[in-house]
Amino acid sequence: MVLQPSWVKAFKFSALDYILKPFQAGELLRAVEKAGEAIDNEKTELKFKTFLGNLDKLKKVVLRTAESIHIINLNDIIRMEADVNYTRFFLDSGKKLLVSKTLKEYDEMLGESGFFRSHQSHLVNLDHILSFEKTEGGHLVMADESQVPVSSRKREALFKIFENLG
């Protein structure tokens, strides 16, 4: 089996452009403009629809622990917690993984993929929030029944996200 760079795989999945993570806003804007121009072409429109259909296949992250390399679906991540220069992942299977990257790196990588930095030490998957408890400064109750603090600076942004959900 021949290993291919990820950009080759992306184009095989009908990609119109390729953006490296962490991406810059300007790169994303140019890619969207390029896609808009390409939509005028009927053949490219079909490729664009195929690409959108393949997005679910691209929603994974590779996590390297001291023992293993894990390929994890983003939906399987409930939350992440900073542990000095490491990040501890809490998965819906109950499994916990310690990865030697900072929470900031994962915030930059996953912030546009349904994750929210509720506190300097916590990044949560919005799909796994069960409730927001207002007591004691406020915290989130997650699908694994863990309680994640919400900093006072992040409350307003979190409430705006809640407004857009319903």
The pLDDT confidence band at residue 1, using thresholds 50, 70 and 90, is very low
* Residue 11 maps to a domain: yes
Q: 104 and 23, same structural domain? A: no
Which is it for the CA torsion 54, 78, 81, 89, positive or negative?
Answer: negative
Domain that holds residue 20: 6-58
| pLDDT on residue 79 | 98
Q: 74 and 54, same structural domain? A: no
Q: 48 and 70, same structural domain? A: no
The pLDDT confidence band at residue 3, using thresholds 50, 70 and 90, is low
For range 120-136, the mean pLDDT? 94
Q: 159 and 78, same structural domain? A: yes
Q: 74 and 13, same structural domain? A: no
Q: Are 118 and 140 in contact (CB under 8 A)?
A: yes
Count of the separate structural domains present in the chain: 2
> How far apart (Å, rounded) are the C-alpha atoms in residues 30 and 36?
10
Q: 138 and 85, same structural domain? A: yes
For range 81-106, the mean pLDDT? 96
